[in-house]
Structure 1
Amino acid sequence: MRYCGRDLDRARDEELSVLEGGDPVDHYLLQFWPAPAGPDRVVRQTSRTAEYWHRHARSLPPPPSPQEEAEAESRRREERESVARAAREEAESLLWGGRSPSPSLRRVGGDALELVQLDRDLADAVDAAGPEAQRSMARWAARQAVVKAGLIGVDRIATALESVERGEALPEPIDEPGRAGEGLCTGPGVPGARADATGGPRVDVAQQAKALTALRAAVEPNPLRAALDALFAAATTYGGSYPDLFAAARREIPGLRAG
């Protein structure tokens, strides 16, 4: 690139008159041509103003090299990623009751988050207890739900509960979450009580339907999910008294206490 300017000093001296509408007194020529990259150099200098600006330019630090630019961009990218990661961790902590979950608790799905909202410490204890204690917890919770819902005296429900406690599949149609299964909550001999959900996880929940949900949860292949889902379903049968259920769980399951 080539730059030429005439009357720079005069233009500087008459700058005010030009701004007030006078005729311009300086002229410039810019010329560009292809050439290999190289350092800037002054070919010709003909004014005090140009000398001043050349001196100022030489006092400036050199521009960053391509490697320095790449390193700076890498640092900026790492900083952005760090900020985004911190934001994700904070959001996850809020979602999970104030602290990040273990990988297994994060992955398990089901009603894990629902149970965490009721009792995060219990969810962590179940998570840490191991598969055997988790399966015991799932079966225990299913029994508590059936008893609380008043279904233990209904032959078909009691038979299904015995299957769960033996580690067997649920009989039909209780294994179906749709209309056929829920129809077991009505008919002769089936009580019609509803949960007192004051302060509890659900409002006006049919205890019988949630007891069936607990039975189905207890046979989930993943023992952690089975325990968490069955506990939450049992909690909905207890309504506002669900803390009593959770206190009993801590007393009754030895592996849970150890966890």
Structure 2
Amino acid sequence: MTVLFDGDVHVHYGFIWLATADDPLPEGDSRAGQSNGLCGAAIPGALNMVTGLHTGSVPLRVEALAAAPPLDDAWEDVVEVPLFAPDREYMLSAFEEFHEVTLPQVGSLRARWSAQGMDAAREADNRLDGEPALDAYLLQLWPAPPAPDVVLRQTARSAAYWHEVARNSPPPPSPEHVARQAAEQQRQLEVERQARDEQDLLDSWGGSLPNPRVLALGYGRPRELAQQDRLLLDLVGALEEPALRQLTAWICRTSCRRAGLEDADWVAPTLAALERGAPLPPPFDNSASAWDRLSAHWAAGDDEASEVTYEVSYEIGEAAGRTPLAPEAAALDAVLSTDTDDPLRAAIDALVGAGCSFDDPQDWYDEVRRHLTG
């Protein structure tokens, strides 16, 4: 036999915990649903032991044994419970006071809680310094397979009361039930998240998903067009590659004509190349060079717009309107948007880019629709 602790423990509210050092004061009702109400073992790896004294110091001895000891007639109330110790380092605790206890081993143990003087201590309620102890306790631990808790001896009225409370209280959910409940909650959260994501995706495409070719384009101008004119997006998305290339060339030429750039010597070869399906010639083979050339064009024409300004804005709440781009800037945007291997993306990006010069892009979208359906 090894004595693990022998001394006074200052209790509050008439209980003592034996629990792991990393969680010395577990939460939860550890006695509900048991046969006994003096030593709770429903919380895995911990014991909650009841004392007769409400507040004050109680003598407590903790022993480790190799096997179950015989019952000692000196103890009036005796109960046993199972304990699975995940660690050797434990704490005896009662709110303000903590005592380290090192168990002889981990694993399955049997715990016997023995008490004497519970009724006298319950009637006194408190024990002040210098007053004699009215109750005393013994906790004995030994290796044993798991077995239900049991009342071995009952004498005190207060012990009978706590036994009745435990038996009439619903037992806490098992760890397996808690795990299943947590898994179900996680599953439900995942279902709700997926539903939100699916609805957000539908909303971003104007209420329904487009055809797979358009859907594969992802974020950007395809979704912008879906929000502004979903029917036009569907119309463009249904075109085959030759028709898409023709539409893209028409968009770029129309946009440049509106901006007064169609016949400019640095623009005309590019429009012709688009109509032939050829690579973009300088300066449109490099976006920075193209914007620099537009700045030079504006400067040479003594135009008020002498440089290109990029603006990124974020709006919260209802949109407050938009500032149209200069027609020349929108035309360059449309032409540069064609620098992609995907003819569908080129057509949609050019279409939306060209519309940036309109006070109401819907006017431009209607013009494109008439071109496609006329």
Summarize the alignment of residues 213-228 of structure 1 with structure 2, pairs less than 5 Å apart. Answer: 213-228=333-348
2:370 to 243, 251, 259: 251
Give the Å deviation of 1:222: 1.7
The 1-side partners of 2:130 and 2:205 are apart by 72
Mapped contact 2:334–2:351 kept (Cα < 8 A): yes
Determine the structure 1 residue equivalent to 2:113. 3
Determine the structure 1 residue equivalent to 2:361. 242
Q: Output one character per residue of 1:23-62: Cα deviation in whole Å (capped at 9) or x when no partner.
A: 5633333333333223222222222222222223223444
User: Which is higher, the Rg of structure 1 or of structure 2?
Assistant: 2
Mapped contact 2:222–2:233 kept (Cα < 8 A): no
Give the Å deviation of 1:89: 4.9
Bigger mean CA offset, 61-70 vs 19-28: 19-28
The secondary structure found in structure 2 opposite 1:145 is helix
For the pair 1:150 / 2:260, whether they are aligned, the reply is yes
The 1-side partners of 2:350 and 2:283 are apart by 19
CA RMSD in angstroms, aligned pairs only:
3.6
The 2-side partners of 1:159 and 1:97 are apart by 36
Relative to structure 1, is the Cα distance of residues 229 and 84 closer, same or farther in structure 2, using a 3 angstrom cutoff?
same
Q: Output one character per residue of 1:188-225: Cα deviation in whole Å (capped at 9) or x when no partner.
A: 9979587xxxx87445x343233122112134212332
1:80 to 189, 198, 218: 189
Determine the structure 2 residue equivalent to 1:233. 353
Give the Å deviation of 1:121: 2.0
**Larger strand fraction of residues:** 2
Relative to structure 1, is the Cα distance of residues 97 and 129 closer, same or farther in structure 2, using a 3 angstrom cutoff?
closer
Relative to structure 1, is the Cα distance of residues 130 and 43 closer, same or farther in structure 2, using a 3 angstrom cutoff?
farther
Determine the structure 1 residue equivalent to 2:332. 212
Determine the structure 1 residue equivalent to 2:143. 34
Mapped contact 2:154–2:160 kept (Cα < 8 A): yes
2:179 to 70, 73, 76: 70
State the AA in 2 paired with 1:78: R
- The TM-score, its normalising length taken from structure 1, stands at 0.74
Q: Which runs of 5+ in 1 are unaligned?
A: none
Give the Å deviation of 1:106: 6.5
The secondary structure found in structure 2 opposite 1:42 is strand
The 1-side partners of 2:119 and 2:236 are apart by 81
State the AA in 1 paired with 2:271: L
Determine the structure 1 residue equivalent to 2:8. none
For the pair 1:172 / 2:292, whether they are aligned, the reply is no
For the pair 1:111 / 2:230, whether they are aligned, the reply is no
Q: Which runs of 5+ in 2 are unaligned?
A: 1-110, 306-319
The secondary structure found in structure 1 opposite 2:177 is helix
- Structure with more relative contact order (C-alpha pairs < 8 Å, separation 6 or more): 1
For the pair 1:138 / 2:248, whether they are aligned, the reply is yes
Mapped contact 1:9–1:47 kept (Cα < 8 A): yes
Determine the structure 1 residue equivalent to 2:64. none
Instruction: Provide the identity percentage.
Output: 34
The 2-side partners of 1:29 and 1:123 are apart by 84
State the AA in 2 paired with 1:239: F
State the AA in 2 paired with 1:249: V
For the pair 1:163 / 2:273, whether they are aligned, the reply is yes
Give the Å deviation of 1:19: 8.1
Determine the structure 1 residue equivalent to 2:291. 182
* Aligned length, in residue pairs: 244
Mapped contact 2:273–2:280 kept (Cα < 8 A): yes
The 2-side partners of 1:217 and 1:174 are apart by 10
Give the Å deviation of 1:151: 0.9
Q: List structure 1 runs of 4+ shifted beyond 6 angstroms.
A: 19-22, 188-191
